[in-house]
Structure 1
Amino acid sequence: MYGYTHERACQLVFLMLYIVGVGLEDGEGCERYFSVTNSLAPITQYQSIFHRRQSVAEFAYYHDLQTYSNLSKFIYGNYKQALRIIGSKHLVCSRMQESGISSEVFYTWLVEEGEYLQNLCKTPPKETIEMEYFAKLDALQSCQRHLAEVRKAWIPYSATARDKTNTLETKHRNEQENERTLIADVQALEERLEIFSRWIEGSEQWLKAKKMVGEAEYQKALDKLEGLLVARMFEMGRLNIAGTGKFPSF
């Protein structure tokens, strides 16, 4: 699980499946071995140095005996797997010839996939600025709507209406400042993007940028969900290892 939960770009470089000369082994034998040794934790936690070392040595000795007894099954399983791969070689080679694929092209595909994934790691600068421009336009429209509502507000004159009037004037002044700031930001982005006609709501550029913003937010949420899922999987795996923590002190 360790290797396959990493991002795809990392797998192309470090996953043993794609390393030439490694073979079919997943290389997780050491990880499984040390996972088994976690059962020693509740036993050795409060032992003396001598008995702790004795328990570890006895565990390693009996584990070696058990591994040796399963060695024939391990070799037999690998032998059957090798025969199955060799038996399907001719079929795979014929299919590759029919498709015009050579054995060298697989390495080229790995390189191309790595380059493609590296390019996906960063949003193109122009698309980033376009999404920022769309966000500023959307904020400007919202600000102008609020400003129009404030301008239409009418408070009947009364002795107690002065405080409401001051509040309304302050709100109107703040909305005007926000509008001027957003207009300056929009104009600066238009200059960078070389936009001579401002996008309007419902136009092709507007809808395209709106879609990009939605996809970016969806991808961000998906990445966060994936990270939480993987963390949860590791946490659940950790819960199956009882007795490795310290007892609370009262």
Structure 2
Amino acid sequence: MVQKEAKIQHADIGVREVGDTRCFSDSDYYIPSEEVDQWAGEVRSGSSREEDLKEGTSDDGKEQDHADGESSDQGPCANNWKAAQSDSKKHMWGVFAETSLFASACRHGLFLWVADMIRSGEQSKYPLAIMAQALQTLGPHLLQGYNIGCVFKKTIASSSLRAKFQESNSRCCVNTFHSYSHNFACQTKNHPNVIEGMGLEDLETMEQIFNSSNQVAGVTRYSSAYHRRVFIDMFLQQWDDDKYQNLALMLFNNYRQALLIIDVEEQVNFFETIGEESPWDIHAITYVELLQALDSAISRAETLSKKFLHAIPSDYHFNLPSSDITTLTSYSSELSKTLLELKVQMGIDKRWTPDTPEYIETAHYIHERQYHQALNHLQRLVVQRLFELHRLNLSGIGYKARTHFAKSLQTRCKTIRSATEAYNRAARALDPPRPPLDWSQVSHCSFLNEFNLLQNTRHDISNAPWANPVVRKAIKRFLRVLRACEEIYRCNIEVRRLFTSIYDEDSKFNSVLEVLGDKNDIILEATREYCLRRCCVNRLLLE
């Protein structure tokens, strides 16, 4: 399993690197910029991809790059991620050289490769370069987790890497935490919990790494490009040493977690087509809204007129007609004129009334549209709250930033409560009415899974077994148990491999030290020190 993500990091100002022209290339982690640039221009332009967004649907709801002939609802999923936008939109200020770091790691937390992002945003060439390196080095049957994995597999399919990627029987998916910002149609295909053979891996290792790497920012903030790479390489080596030392503990914890967990084609098809409401005549909507406004204005004018005509105060004095009545009468005349013009444009012979079938159908859709608008607003607020909670838990964030997030979160909670009330009003106006929501439901992260179900107003799914929340929860638990069984199978393999690797490494150390001793080589003592330290770590792993 390969996990990739971009780390936005404090960059060097271009004019400061001329004082140190050295280039640090003695690293097993860095992919040379020249090799990364070979993948520039591999993806179609943003305009052609935007056209695809408008005219096509695909399997997982991410932007660009077509893959494997699968279809997907790209729009809602791609719009949630800046990294899924066209490469032409991913620019960075010209004063910066190394703007970011694009890194990858295995499921055990060990670094694989990193690449400097040079004067650009998170362009497709960086993950493509790392994927090419992984296919060349690690071989077939790779699973790559990426925040925009559902889009990236289409990026691969539109690049020269497509044939090799398909031959290797590899695939991409999204990370567990970030997948909740993808639409549910995407999650039914790309969430780790539904992928056979995935085990219990959440693919969020890079979040932990970047959380720790914030400590390196202080010493690299104003350093040259050479020293920046030196410090980052030292951090990567130390990180890998620490992770290797804890490898046995990691496998043990995964094994124990899997044991504790052990002690839907119709669903997929529905979520692939949900949200694809047939286009409605906007003129009909406008016409009905104007009719409703006219009826309301006439009713208010008649009410005021009756009060004026029938009310006889004791101290009666003649006054000019009420300005409210005059205003409503003028407003009604303007509405009648607008309605007449629209009626002619639409070719309506007789004005619609509340009993007209077209009026009833359009009014019903207006209620649905208001419901969807309230639901979309609520979903956006919940997603923002989710990411702000995530930011609050990151170490290395300054006090001012943390205070800002906390205040923003408090405001967001109040806004979510108001949006929930607006949603409930719109839900009650539907026919039949939708069940109301309360704060305890909306405030939970798992509620994001329910948005696509709530958006349905066209399909009749009320009798579908998987539409029942209890059944869906049972399905999730069942899939979780399946992944736990896979995790046990995988841990059994990896434990044997770790033991074999330690045994082979010990034999190799003895043979290398023997050869260096016979030659009386100058690196004998340095090699012996390294082997001694490594053997101590291996003994800890075997314990």
TM above 0.5: yes
- Contact 2:287–2:339 (8 Å) recurs in 1: no
Give the match for residue 293 of structure 2. 139
Aligned-partner Cα distance in 2 for 1:50–1:8: 45
Give the match for residue 178 of structure 1. 335
Give the match for residue 353 of structure 2. 198
- Contact 2:285–2:362 (8 Å) recurs in 1: yes
Deviations 1:68-122 (A, max 9, x none): 122111111233355567x67xxxxxxxxxxxxxxxxx3xx2xx32332344313
Q: Higher strand fraction: Structure 1 or Structure 2?
A: 2
- Contact 1:146–1:175 (8 Å) recurs in 2: no
Aligned-partner Cα distance in 1 for 2:258–2:300: 72
| Residues 38-187 of structure 1 mapped to structure 2, 5 A cutoff | 38-82=214-258, 106=264, 109=265, 112-125=266-279, 134-145=288-299, 172=329, 175-183=332-340, 185=342
Structure 1 segments unaligned to the other structure (5+ residues): 89-105, 246-250
Following superposition, the deviation at residue 218 of structure 1 comes to: 3.8
Aligned-partner Cα distance in 2 for 1:40–1:147: 71
Aligned-partner SS, 1:142:
helix
Gap change, CA 1:238 and 1:42, over 3 Å in 2:
farther
1:222 and 2:375 matched:
yes
Q: Higher helix fraction: Structure 1 or Structure 2?
A: 1
- Contact 1:143–1:179 (8 Å) recurs in 2: no
Following superposition, the deviation at residue 226 of structure 1 comes to: 2.3
Aligned-partner Cα distance in 2 for 1:177–1:57: 72
Aligned-partner Cα distance in 2 for 1:24–1:128: 48
Q: What percent identity do the matched residue pairs reach?
A: 28
Aligned-partner Cα distance in 2 for 1:23–1:213: 45
Structure 2 segments unaligned to the other structure (5+ residues): 1-176, 310-317, 401-543
Following superposition, the deviation at residue 8 of structure 1 comes to: 0.9
Give the match for residue 235 of structure 1. 388
Deviations 1:11-43 (A, max 9, x none): 123323233444432222234323332332233
Aligned-partner Cα distance in 1 for 2:291–2:243: 67
Aligned-partner Cα distance in 2 for 1:83–1:236: 30
Q: Which has the larger radius of gyration?
A: 1
Following superposition, the deviation at residue 67 of structure 1 comes to: 0.8
1:8 and 2:189 matched:
no
Gap change, CA 1:31 and 1:62, over 3 Å in 2:
same
Aligned-partner SS, 1:24:
coil
Deviations 1:129-187 (A, max 9, x none): 87666534312212333665798889x79xxx8xx99xx98975553232132255468
Gap change, CA 1:84 and 1:229, over 3 Å in 2:
closer
> What TM-score comes out, normalization by structure 2 length?
0.32
Aligned-partner SS, 1:4:
helix
Aligned-partner Cα distance in 1 for 2:246–2:282: 57
Gap change, CA 1:66 and 1:29, over 3 Å in 2:
same
